[in-house]
């Protein structure tokens, strides 16, 4: 029964009137968003450089504390809009991170989300405090674990808090979902070639795929619709262009928001 329909009897009203939540210690609640894209043939994540303690000058995921009257989904959407300038993108709840010492300020529990976007939607160029870091995943398959993120110079960035583990969990999740959920299409423009789609899968999985078997599987999936058009201005034979065909393409102008 929802809180709106719940009828409070007089004894419960009296109990609530005298209830003091400050008598019980409780953690702070935050959200962090792993904003992923594929660019320069690599899986990349958007990071913000912290300007205050703790972890000053380290690189962190876009995040923030949840307001008292704000849902978790609304907090994640607010963080994406405020810190990455993004709205109406694919967002899914990932995992809850609650190690007691994960934040030196106080007891902070973070509900992590991940978001997938085409790189054309990211407007972070020229920002001294915001960058795209190249993921370096030291494990194969769905082993899981922390990852490193390299900056433009190829050197590993210092990540704040437990964000190496949070990003690693996002990689593990999308690798596991790639075969049964259409998340790879979120990283592509509205029209794409089979070569583009395979490249996205290979980047996410971290390994090459057989061209012929991949194309057979994709064409038999029912998720693709040929546009009748071909690539333009390419130095090779133009390939046929496709769209995602299940329930409309999750393109940058008509993407979806989901909760896991």
Q: For 126-167, write each residue's pLDDT tens digit.
A: 455 679 999 999 999 999 999 999 999 999 999 999 999 999
Same domain, 155 and 31: yes
Nearest Cα neighbor of 27 from 101, 108, 121 is 108
Sequence-ordered list of residues with C-beta below 8 angstroms from that of 137, at least 6 positions apart, any chain: 43, 147, 168, 171, 206
At residue 24 the predicted structure's pLDDT band, cuts being 50, 70 and 90, is confident
Which pLDDT does position 6 carry in this prediction?
64
In a domain, 111, yes or no: yes
According to DSSP, residue 125 is labeled T
Shared domain check, 101 and 216: no
CATH code of the domain in which 95 resides: 3.90.79.10
Q: Tell me: do 173 and 221 sit in the same domain.
A: no
> For position 239, what pLDDT does the model report?
92
pLDDT over 70 (residue 124): no
- Closest alpha carbon to 75 in 40, 43, 48, 110: 110
User: Which domain-ending residue is among 152, 177, 202?
Assistant: 177
The pLDDT score that the predictor gives to residue 248 is 46
- Domain span at residue 199 reads 182-244
- Would you say residue 251 has pLDDT above 50? no
Give the model's pLDDT for residue 235. Answer: 67
189 and 95 share one domain:
no
Residues 108 and 128 in one domain: yes
**CA 104, CA 169: separation in Å to the nearest integer?**
22
Give the position of tokens 């030291």: 138
Please state the domain count of the chain: 2
Task: Scan for tokens 């702070």, then name that residue.
Answer: 28
Q: What is the mean pLDDT of residues 160-185?
A: 96
Evaluate whether residue 137 is within a structural domain.
yes
Closest CA to 118 of 170, 190, 176, 174: 190
> Angle 74-120-254 (CA atoms, 0-180°, nearest 5)?
50
CB 31 within 8 A of CB 112: yes
Which range (4-13, 48-57, 145-154, 159-168) has the least confidence? 4-13
Neighbours of 232 (CB within 10 A): 7
- Across the range 36-61, mean pLDDT stands at 95
1, part of any domain: no
Burial (Cβ within 10 Å: 0-12, 13-18, ≥19) of residue 168: buried
Cα-to-chain-centroid distance, residue 146: 16
Model pLDDT, residue 28: 96
Give the chain's mean pLDDT.
89
Separate counts of helices (H) and strands (E) for the chain: 5, 10
Tokens 């899981």 — which residue? 144
In order, the DSSP letters of 34-73 are EEEEEETTEEEEEEEE--SSSSTT-EE-SEEEPPTT--HH
Confidence of residue 179 (pLDDT cuts 50, 70, 90): confident
pLDDT band at 125 (very low <50, low <70, confident <90, very high): very low
Q: Taking the alpha carbons of 194, 167, 65, 93 in that order, is the dihedral positive or negative?
A: positive
Q: How confident is the model at residue 247 (pLDDT cuts 50, 70, 90)?
A: low
Confidence of residue 249 (pLDDT cuts 50, 70, 90): very low
CATH number at residue 237: 1.10.10.10
Is 124 domain-assigned?
yes
Based on the domain organization, do 173 and 52 belong to the same domain?
yes
- 164 with 51, same domain: the answer is yes
Confidence check: pLDDT of 257 > 60: no
What whole-number distance in Å separates Cα of residue 108 and Cα of residue 55? 15
- Mean pLDDT for 203-223 is 96
The CA angle 118-119-125, to the nearest 5 degrees, is: 155
Last residue of some domain: 177, 206, 235?
Answer: 177
Q: What is the pLDDT of residue 192?
A: 96
pLDDT band at 85; cut points 50, 70, 90: confident
Q: What integer is the mean pLDDT of 168-185?
A: 95
């Amino acid at each position: 029964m929802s809180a709106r329909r719940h009828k409070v009897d007089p004894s419960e009203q009296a109990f609530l009137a005298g209830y003091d939540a400050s008598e019980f210690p409780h953690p702070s609640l935050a959200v962090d968003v792993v904003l992923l894209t594929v660019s320069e043939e690599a899986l990349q994540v958007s990071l913000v450089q912290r300007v205050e303690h703790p972890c000053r000058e380290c690189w962190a995921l876009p995040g923030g504390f949840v307001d008292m009257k704000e849902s978790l989904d609304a907090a994640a959407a607010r963080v994406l809009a405020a810190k990455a300038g993004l709205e109406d993108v694919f967002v899914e709840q990932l995992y809850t991170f609650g190690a007691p010492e994960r934040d030196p300020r106080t007891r902070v529990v973070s509900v992590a989300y991940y978001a997938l976007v085409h790189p054309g939607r990211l407007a972070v160029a020229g920002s001294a405090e915001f960058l795209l870091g190249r993921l370096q995943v030291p494990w194969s398959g769905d082993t899981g674990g922390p990852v490193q993120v390299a900056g433009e110079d190829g050197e590993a960035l210092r990540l704040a808090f437990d964000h190496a583990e949070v990003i690693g969990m996002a990689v593990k999740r999308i690798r596991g979902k790639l075969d049964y959920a259409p998340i790879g299409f979120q990283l592509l423009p509205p029209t794409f070639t089979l070569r583009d789609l395979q490249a996205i899968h290979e980047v996410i999985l971290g390994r090459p795929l057989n061209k012929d078997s991949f194309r057979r599987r994709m064409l038999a999936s029912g998720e693709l619709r040929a546009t009748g058009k071909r690539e333009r201005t390419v130095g090779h034979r133009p390939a046929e262009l496709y769209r995602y065909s299940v329930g409309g393409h999750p393109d940058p102008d008509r993407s979806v928001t989901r909760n896991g």
